[in-house]
Chain A
Amino acid sequence: MSFRDRRTSPDLTGDLQWRRGEGLRDPQNARFPVPRFGHGSRVPGWDEAVDLTKDPAVIPDLATTTIPQDLQREIEASMAKYPDRRSAVMAALHAAQAVHGWCSPAAIDQVAAVMRLTPAYVTSVASFYDMYKLTPKPANDVFVCTNISCSLLGADEFHETMLAAAEGEDINVASFECLGACDIAPMASVNGEYVGPLTDEDATAIVEDLRAGRPVLPAKQLRYRRSTDPDVQAEGTEFAPAAGAPRADTAGLTGLEARADRPGAEGAPVEIPPETRDDA
């Protein structure tokens, strides 16, 4: 039996699932009392060899690549902002991911074509950063912070609850490294909107809010949180949102040109971009 035969799962990114003695007890892995990935190796993706018979992909021709016009315009605008066009590759990938839902081969090709880079270069960047997804993912993201401060206050348990609550929904629940909001620990970033402190009941509320397409846990959104420093609060200001009230602290953003080019942002109080993107 070769390693290849023992492959059970194509998931190369899965965590090592191994506890003490398990390798001895599992007949499939009886000879391997060391942690193994689904395909039998200690290294993820070790047998995904490069196809040497294939020529390396060249820069795709923009004339023959189909690409949404808006996306092309957005990438070109980003390129114009920098002294070196390569700097725009991250912005371009963000834009392409917003259109395609993930960094699909088509999305990579489109970015490469507009930016005049090889697909390999674009992929090398996309595979480095956590926020670019090289595999298809559900439309909604719930990133639960499970770093030190959040986990001290129960984030690991909330992550479990959230996973169970989102079962079968179009929601990608993942544990995430520190999101920079330890003041509302335990917290999560739901499609980019920071919410916390979370309790177990909030897991189902998040799922319901996402399903209904409304703002997630409005009472717990970070954007309304006042400073905790007792000496800095201006008199007579109220940050907590009254029901249906406009978003006070972002009132100044309404209708600004910077946001006007993004879908669903015109004139209205600022929505969180990913929500609108995902709905589109």
Chain B
Amino acid sequence: MSTKILFDRIDEPALNTLEVYERRGGYQALRQALTMAPEDVLKQILDSGVRGRGGAGFQMGRKISFLPHGDMAKYLVCNADESEPGTFKDRELMQKSPHMLVEGILIAAYAGDIHKTFIYIRGEYQLQADILEAAIAEAGRAGYIGERILGSDFSASLVLHRGAGAYICGEETALLDSLEGKRGNPRLKPPFPAIEGLYAGPTLINNVETLSTVPHIIRMGGAEYAKIGTETSTGTKLVSISGDVKRPGNYEIELGIPSREIIYGLAGGPPSGKPVKFWFPGGSSSPVLTGDDLDIPYDFDSMAKAGTMLGSGAIIVADESRRVLDTMLKVAKFYAHESCGKCVPCREGTNWTQKMVERIYAGEATPMDLDIMASVQEQIIGNCLCVLGDAMAMPIGSMVQKFRVELEAEIEAARERADGAAVQDVIPLGVADEHAGPLPVH
């Protein structure tokens, strides 16, 4: 049996209630933290080396230490706007163990001297939001949230905020705008949210999984937690596996195990028995890897070395029978739809990439289109306020690079199909007489 921290007996019925959670030792970590000085709590989190589980993989303790000290309105926002295609780990955590998240938020707030906290949950997660709302109310009645928590001097409020279906609001600054009641457009950084975030106050933003880990860090001790996983990627990680695998779902793994063990060992590999053709290691925003890359260890640094990223820990697997082109269109369409339109390279780049992929289907593309597509991706990366455009550019760029031969064959096949259709389907003369005249050139 491997190490289970977040998922330890998560299927226990009614774990979402305070009664069962407390019976299992819940809120003991908060009690323990409140007897410690905030600096000591922060030190434990720093010692644990826990990195953000939302996508960027930034060390959580360092993020807290960036918050300015002093008497001012500081905020903590839990990012539960889990919208990255392929990711569904936070959903299971919030649905089955909401109090773990609440406890983590309170401890993190204590460490950062924060008194106002929020959870921004995506609007589609209605069941999970209802469960969280009930858990917050229950915790409030038990004295875990509110004024002078458990008799200490620490007070904190917690508000659940429901989103309304915008992928961009998972981006931290867009999330803050949305939480302020505006359209969810990203902001220029710097200033980073740790300095100037929600309502222009210093703001700590962390993912659900990261914050849910905090009670366990306090319980185990930071140094003890750091022994799990690899040196630079400590702890366990929830991975969401989907696509062509026998047992799709969430698995808690120790960081650093070979990817093959996750895809074949835990998830059972493709049900068809065909080999893996390509897979996304960290959600649809990560550059794809191929079947040859299955032995790369699954941790932040090894993935970065392989030219991709661990991201949110969402693995999407496609077997040999799948067309790269289909996935490419899905990726391009998704980002074109979700681009907020604030920055030109992203707004236009995602849109035109989608059109160029559609051109391949229509049989109008030439192999040169692949080069144009690749150059569009280069012009998006690093040129926008947020990384939504990059999130399309990186996987599309990697697909063009790694599957160029196949895409060129697709282009050729589609052209032949289209030419054949055109010969059979001649326009009858005279129909367009009303609009006679030279056709405009486009």
Of residues 226 through 255 on chain B, the ones whose CB sits less than 8 Å from some CB of chain A are 240, 242-244, 247-252
CB A157 to nearest CB in B, in angstroms, measures 13
Chain A hits for B266, CB < 8 A: 229-230
By beta carbon, the residue of chain A nearest B427 is A25
A1 to B347, CA, bound (A): 33
CB B40 to nearest CB in A, in angstroms, measures 29
Q: Is the CB of A177 within 8 A of B167?
A: yes
- Which of B127, B199, B316 contacts A148, CB < 8 Å? B316
- Which of B138, B249, B427, B437 contacts A229, CB < 8 Å? B249
Is A87 among interface residues, defined by CB-CB distance under 8 A?
Answer: yes
If A148-B243, A149-B85 touch, does A228 touch B10 (CB 8 Å cutoff)? no
If A91-B162, A130-B165, A249-B96 touch, does A177 touch B418 (CB 8 Å cutoff)? no
- Which of A83, A151, A226, A270 contacts B199, CB < 8 Å? A83
Chain A hits for B18, CB < 8 A: 252
CB-CB contacts of A136-160 with B at 8 A, as 1s and 0s?
0000000100111101110000000
CB B45 to nearest CB in A, in angstroms, measures 25
Stretch at the interface among A48-56, A57-65, A165-173, A182-190: A182-190
A82 to B176, CA, bound (A): 13
Of residues 240 through 276 on chain A, the ones whose CB sits less than 8 Å from some CB of chain B are 248-253, 256-259, 270, 272-274
CB A138 to nearest CB in B, in angstroms, measures 18
A47 to B199, CA, bound (A): 37
Is B16 among interface residues, defined by CB-CB distance under 8 A?
Answer: yes
Chain A hits for B199, CB < 8 A: 83-84
Q: Is the CB of A185 within 8 A of B87?
A: no
Is A164 among interface residues, defined by CB-CB distance under 8 A?
Answer: no
Is B63 among interface residues, defined by CB-CB distance under 8 A?
Answer: no
Q: Is the CB of B137 within 8 A of A147?
A: no
Q: Is the CB of A86 within 8 A of B182?
A: yes
CB-CB contacts of B82-123 with A at 8 A, as 1s and 0s?
111111101110011000000000000000000010000011
Q: Is the CB of A231 within 8 A of B1?
A: yes
Q: Is the CB of B427 within 8 A of A185?
A: no
Chain B hits for A146, CB < 8 A: 330
Q: Is the CB of B95 within 8 A of A223?
A: yes
Is B327 among interface residues, defined by CB-CB distance under 8 A?
Answer: yes
A98 to B248, CA, bound (A): 34
Interface centre among A87, A132, A232, A237 (most CB of B within 10 A): A232
Is A178 among interface residues, defined by CB-CB distance under 8 A?
Answer: yes
Is A4 among interface residues, defined by CB-CB distance under 8 A?
Answer: no
CB-CB contacts of B177-189 with A at 8 A, as 1s and 0s?
0111111100000
- Which of B16, B91, B250, B418 contacts A250, CB < 8 Å? B16
A184 to B88, CA, bound (A): 10
By beta carbon, the residue of chain B nearest A130 is B165
A256 to B98, CA, bound (A): 15
By beta carbon, the residue of chain A nearest B9 is A234
A84 to B73, CA, bound (A): 13
Q: Is the CB of B252 within 8 A of A229?
A: yes
A233 to B13, CA, bound (A): 10
A146 to B331, CA, bound (A): 11
Chain A hits for B91, CB < 8 A: 180-181
If A21-B422, A132-B164, A223-B95 touch, does A180 touch B88 (CB 8 Å cutoff)? yes
Chain B hits for A194, CB < 8 A: 127
- Which of B14, B116, B161, B318 contacts A252, CB < 8 Å? B14
Q: Is the CB of A178 within 8 A of B12?
A: no
Chain B hits for A152, CB < 8 A: 243-244, 316, 318, 322, 327
CB-CB contacts of A25-49 with B at 8 A, as 1s and 0s?
1010011011000000000000000
If A84-B199, A87-B161, A232-B7 touch, does A182 touch B127 (CB 8 Å cutoff)? no
- Which of A19, A129, A180, A256 contacts B138, CB < 8 Å? A256
Q: Is the CB of B16 within 8 A of A129?
A: no
Q: Is the CB of A27 within 8 A of B249?
A: no
A230 to B11, CA, bound (A): 11
CB-CB contacts of A183-203 with B at 8 A, as 1s and 0s?
111000100111000000000
Q: Is the CB of A148 within 8 A of B8?
A: no
If A19-B362, A25-B427 touch, does A227 touch B247 (CB 8 Å cutoff)? no
If A182-B316, A251-B13, A256-B138 touch, does A84 touch B167 (CB 8 Å cutoff)? no
- Which of B16, B90, B243, B252 contacts A149, CB < 8 Å? B243
Is A107 among interface residues, defined by CB-CB distance under 8 A?
Answer: no
CB A27 to nearest CB in B, in angstroms, measures 5
Q: Tell me the count of chain A residues lying within 8 A, CB to CB, of chain B.
A: 78
Chain A hits for B418, CB < 8 A: 20
If A83-B199, A182-B316, A183-B250 touch, does A252 touch B136 (CB 8 Å cutoff)? no
A180 to B316, CA, bound (A): 13
Chain B hits for A259, CB < 8 A: 130, 133-134
Chain B hits for A180, CB < 8 A: 82-83, 87-88, 90-91, 122, 124-125
Q: Is the CB of B165 within 8 A of A147?
A: no
By beta carbon, the residue of chain B nearest A231 is B1
If A25-B427, A229-B249 touch, does A256 touch B13 (CB 8 Å cutoff)? no
Q: Is the CB of A81 within 8 A of B159?
A: yes
Q: Is the CB of B316 within 8 A of A149?
A: yes
A161 to B9, CA, bound (A): 38
By beta carbon, the residue of chain B nearest A184 is B248
By beta carbon, the residue of chain A nearest B167 is A177
Is A116 among interface residues, defined by CB-CB distance under 8 A?
Answer: no
Is A131 among interface residues, defined by CB-CB distance under 8 A?
Answer: yes
CB B243 to nearest CB in A, in angstroms, measures 5
Is A205 among interface residues, defined by CB-CB distance under 8 A?
Answer: no
Q: Is the CB of A87 within 8 A of B88?
A: no
Chain B hits for A272, CB < 8 A: 126-127
Is A179 among interface residues, defined by CB-CB distance under 8 A?
Answer: yes
A228 to B252, CA, bound (A): 10
A128 to B4, CA, bound (A): 40
By beta carbon, the residue of chain B nearest A124 is B183
Is B338 among interface residues, defined by CB-CB distance under 8 A?
Answer: yes
Is A220 among interface residues, defined by CB-CB distance under 8 A?
Answer: no
CB A16 to nearest CB in B, in angstroms, measures 10
The 7 lowest CB-CB distance pairs between A and B, nearest first, are A228-B249, A252-B17, A182-B242, A130-B165, A86-B181, A129-B164, A178-B85
Extra inter-chain contacts (8) besides given A30-B431, A192-B126, CB under 8 Å: A84-B180, A149-B316, A185-B243, A192-B127, A232-B9, A232-B11, A248-B14, A250-B131
**14 pairs across A/B with beta carbons < 8 Å?**
A90-B161, A91-B161, A93-B164, A131-B123, A148-B86, A149-B248, A152-B316, A177-B83, A227-B92, A231-B7, A232-B252, A234-B9, A234-B12, A237-B12
